[in-house]
Amino acid sequence: MNNYIGHPSQLCGIEEHRLVGGKGDGMRLYEAWTSGGLRFTVSADRCGDLSRVSYKGINLGFFGPCGYVAPQHYDPRGAGFLKSFTGGFLTTCGLTAVGSPCVDEGEELPLHGNISHVPAENVVVDTDETLRIKLTMRDASLFGRKFLLTREYECAPDGSALILHDKVQNIAASETPYMILYHFNFGYPLLAPGAELTIPSKSVTPRNDRAAEDLDTASSIIEPQPAFEEQCYFHDLSEGRVKLKNPALGIAVTMEFDTTELPFFTQWKLMQQGEYVMGLEPGNCHPDGRDVMRRQGKLRFLKPGEAAEQTIKITITEE
C-alpha cells in the first residue's frame, strides 16, 4: 500500500487502447509505463511488436513514413512489405523467410516474411508484482507452414529494462525452415551525430559494394543526407551485447542476447533525410533471402513439435 497515490497507475501500469482512423483503424495497442521512466507500446495486431519505446520522454525508436498500418493492408507481393513497415522500435521478421524476396524450392517468398502482420489470438496482461504482457500468434496454413509464436514482455514496475522472451514451435507434421530476425530500429533523438555505437565484432562483412565503401566508418553516425543508399553489415560477434549511447542526452541503450540462440547480427544503416534509422538486428540468419541461406548450408529447420526460444534484454541507463 502506498499512502501517496490513489491508484497504482500513477506510477506504473498497462492500458489497452484502440486506434481510430487511417490504415491503423481498430488496431489494439498495449501501452506500459514504469516509475523508472520506461514507456513502451506493444502492437497486438502486428505480432506483438514494439511500436514505440521511450525513456523519460526521450524517443528511442524509428517510426516509418506509413505510420500505423493494420494487417489487412499487408501486401505480400515482392517488396510490398515496405508499404506497411511501421518500423517502430521492433519489427519481427520471419518465420520461414527473412530478407530479400526470392523463390526457394518453388515457393515464392516476400520481403522479410509475413509474421509481423499476424495479429495475436489472445493477450494476457499481469500487473500484480511485475509488468507482463503475453501474446500468442499463429502463423499457419493448409498444406503449408504451421508455427505457434508465444511472446512475453516483462519489466519491473520501477525499472528501465525490458525483457523479451519468444518461443516458436513447429506444430506441423513435417520439418519446416525456420528463420527469425529481430529488426530493432533506433531513431532520433537517441540516434544523432555524436551518438556512439559499440558492437563487439570479431569481423565485419559488408553486404555489397555500397556498404564496402564505408566499411571503416560503419559505426559512425552522421547528419541526415539528401540521398543515402542503405548499407548493411554482417557482424561476427564475440558476445551478444550491443550498445548505442548518446552523450548529449546522457542515456544509453544496451541490447543483450545469447549468440547460441541468435548467432547472426546485422547492422542496417540508413542516414537518409526523413528516413533516419539504424537497425541493430540479432537473428538466426542473415537478411539475404532463404534461397541464399539454403545454398550456404546455414538454413535452420524445426522438426515436428520442436521449439526454439530466444531472449533479448533491453536496458536503458543514464551515462
The verdict on residue 52 lying in a domain is: yes
Q: How far apart are CA 283 and CA 174, in angstroms?
A: 23
Give the Cα-Cα-Cα angle 244, 249, 251 (nearest 5 degrees): 45
Q: Are 90 and 183 in contact (CB under 8 A)?
A: yes
Q: How far apart are CA 83 and CA 119, in angstroms?
A: 18
Cell, residue 132:
507482463
The verdict on residue 50 lying in a domain is: yes
At residue 274, the pLDDT reads 96
At residue 117, the pLDDT reads 98
Helix (H, G, I), strand (E, B) or coil at 287: coil
The verdict on residue 7 lying in a domain is: no
The verdict on residue 313 lying in a domain is: yes
The verdict on residue 240 lying in a domain is: yes
Cell, residue 264:
547472426
The domain tally of the chain equals: 1
At residue 25, the pLDDT reads 98
At residue 78, the pLDDT reads 80
Q: For residue 292, what are the β-bridge partners?
A: none
- What is the pTM (predicted TM-score) of this model? 0.98
Q: How far apart are CA 27 and CA 24, in angstroms?
A: 6
Question: 42 lies in which domain range?
Answer: 14-318
At residue 79, the pLDDT reads 86
pLDDT in tens for each of the 319 residues of the chain? 789 999 999 999 999 999 999 999 999 999 999 999 999 999 999 999 999 999 999 999 999 999 999 999 999 988 899 999 999 999 999 999 999 999 999 999 999 999 999 999 999 999 999 999 999 999 999 999 999 999 999 999 999 999 999 999 999 999 999 999 999 999 999 999 999 999 999 999 999 999 999 999 999 999 999 999 999 999 999 999 999 999 999 999 999 999 999 999 999 999 999 999 999 999 999 999 999 999 999 999 999 999 999 999 999 999 9
The verdict on residue 193 lying in a domain is: yes
Radius of gyration of the chain (CA): 19
The verdict on residue 9 lying in a domain is: no
The verdict on residue 5 lying in a domain is: no
CATH number reported for the structural domain that contains residue 125 in this entry: 2.70.98.10
Residues counted in the chain:
319
Q: How far apart are CA 74 and CA 189, in angstroms?
A: 29
Q: How far apart are CA 108 and CA 261, in angstroms?
A: 27
